[in-house]
Structure 1
C-alpha cells in the first residue's frame, strides 16, 4: 500500500529539480515516471495483494483528491506570508513549486485512477478465471487439490467460502495440507 500511494509523491520530489516541469514535456514526464512503479507493482504483486489495494482504493483516492486540493489552496493563500520566508531561510527553492504542485495535484488522481482501473481489471480477470475453475470443479467427480487451491487464489474470499462450505472440498484441502505438513516435518 505504501508503494502504491508513495510512488507519485517520490516522483514529485525528484521532479522539483527538473527545469522543464512547467512544459508539456515535463508534465508527460511526471505522468510517465509515476506510471512506471505501478507497472512494476502490477507485474510483481500477487493477486491477493492487488485485491486488497483495489478494495481500499476508493476511499483513499477520494481523500487524496481533497487533500491535494486543500494543499494547493493553502500554498496559494499562504505563499507570501509563510512559505516564501521559509524557502529563503532554509532551502532557497524555486518559487515555481506552487505551480508545479498545482499541476501535480491534478495529475495525482489521474494516475491513481488509471492504475486503479488496471488493478481492477486484474482482479476481474482473476475472478473470471476462478469462476471457470469452480465450474470445472463442480463437474468433476474426483476433485484435485491444485484446482481448489487455484480457485481460492484467483477468486479470493468469495470462492474460498464457497469451497470451505462444501465438506468434500474442505476435506480434500485439509488432508492434502496435513500430508504436506507431515512430509515437511520428516
Structure 2
C-alpha cells in the first residue's frame, strides 16, 4: 500500500504542479496516467469518477484524486491523492500573493494569462470531445441519448451545471429502472 500511496502522491504532485486550467485540463492527464500508464483503472472508471466529482461539491481534480486514492489504497490513498493535488496550487498561490502588485500591473503577465486562457479553452474542448468519443465508441444508445439530450438542454436553456447533472442522473436512473441501460 505504501508504494501505491507514494506513486499516487507523486503522480498527482507532478500533474497538479504542471497543469493550468482546472479539473477538465488535468482529468485527461489523470486518465492517461492511471488508466493507460499504470493500469490502475479503466477509462470508463475515470469517466464515472469525473461525473461523480463534477456533481460533488469542491474541486473536480481533488474529488477525482480522492476517488482514485480510495479505490487504490483506502483512506490513506485518498489522503495521498488530495495532498499531491493541493500542494502545488497552494505553493504557487503563496508565491504569487507575495508578488501580486508586480504581477497585476505587468502587461507581459496579462498577455501570458490571456494566452493561457485560450490554451485552456482548447484543452477543455479536447477533454470534452474525448469523453464524448468514449461514450460514442461504447455504442450504448441510451447513454448516447442522455449525453445528447443534456448537451442540447445546455445549449437551449442555459441551465446551470448542477441542474444539467441532476437531469442527466435522473434520465440515467429512469432508464435503468426500465431496463434500458
After TM superposition, the score normalised by the length of structure 1 is: 0.30
In terms of Rg, which structure is larger?
1
After TM superposition, the score normalised by the length of structure 2 is: 0.30
